[in-house]
Structure 1
Amino acid sequence: MHWYVDVLKKYAVFNGRARRAEYWMFTLISLIISLALFGIDMVLGISPVLEALYSVAVLLPGIAVSVRRLHDTDRQGWWLLLALIPLIGLIILIVMLAKDSTPPNQYGPNPKEVAAAPAW
């Protein structure tokens, strides 16, 4: 759950890097919350108001963590626009987002190495 909260704390931070766990856990928890809110909307018999409000609220953090994840694989955030290409663009983007971290690059040190370093 801390991955989700950490992404929300960095609401509109587009610089730096994000580990795979941070990106995918945020995506998973966000999807679960969205589905739960959609279910509540259906039970209440209203159009998906709660789910839509939640989606708008997490849109910017979702884009920001995606850009940071692309930075972690040594790619610019503009690669996120691949999602606009039907089907094949989304598949390519998912593969890019699933790749492992690269060594220190222009976007900063490898977050895995920073997390693994002992805190003296």
Structure 2
Amino acid sequence: MLEHMITPFYRYADFTGRSRRREFWSFALLHLVITSVLVSLAISTGFSYRVLLQRAEFGGSLGVAAIAFFGILAMYALAVLVPTVAVNVRRLHDRDLSGWWCLGFVVLGAVPLLGWIGNVAYLVLMAMPGTEGANRYGNDPRDPEVPEIFV
């Protein structure tokens, strides 16, 4: 499973081909774990959004810990942005859909009620199995005859 978690980093900016559900959901789990650790560290050190708002409201500075936390979070977000988009596009390709659908779901997410509906639809779409056999985006990644998919 660890191999599938880090595969999107090997295929960093590869927006072609297809990715299986295992690769997509393993990478999502990795995000969840890392983000949970970062947020847990922030909470355990007394940092919270509420404290941040109170300081901003009274003209106080953020402090070194808050700046460091946001710096680490920003570096992590930038480091995973491209592989996250790439694995999402490849997962859509596995469903024989254009990667532009990803942008459509992001735009839909900006609309308050439609964003929730769009998120649920996107999760369902990502959970569905890919098309069997080759499609216009490449060979089936489940096909044992195609070992170069995860190279």
Q: What's the TM-score bracket when you normalise by the shorter of the two chains?
A: 0.7 to 0.9
Percent of aligned pairs sharing the same letter:
36
Contact 1:34 1:54 in 2 (8 A): no
- Match among 70, 83, 94 for residue 106 of structure 2: 83
Report the equivalent of 1:13. 14
Q: Which moved more, 1:42-51 or 1:61-70?
A: 42-51
How many residue pairs align between the two structures? 117
Q: Which has the higher contact order (CA 8 A, sep 6+)?
A: 2
Deviations 1:49-100 (A, max 9, x none): 2233212211111110000000001000111121332111111111111110
Please list every run of 5 or more consecutive structure 2 residues that lacks an aligned counterpart in the other structure: 48-64, 109-114
TM-score of the two chains, using structure 2 as the length reference: 0.70
Contact 1:15–1:68 (Cα < 8 Å) also in 2: yes
Structure 1 residues 62 and 118: alpha-carbon distance in aligned structure 2, compared to 1, 3 A threshold: closer
Match of 1:66 in 2: 88
Alpha-carbon distance, 1:118 to partner:
9.0
Amino acid corresponding to residue 78 of structure 2 in structure 1: V
- Cα distance in 1, alignment partners of residues 42 and 86 from structure 2: 27
- The whole-number CA distance in structure 2 between the counterparts of 1:100 and 1:15 is 18
Is the CA contact 2:9–2:83 (under 8 Å) kept in the aligned structure 1? yes
Equivalent residue letter for 1:84: V
Largest Rg, 1 or 2: 2
Q: Which amino acid aligns with 1:98?
A: A
CA RMSD of aligned residues (A): 1.8
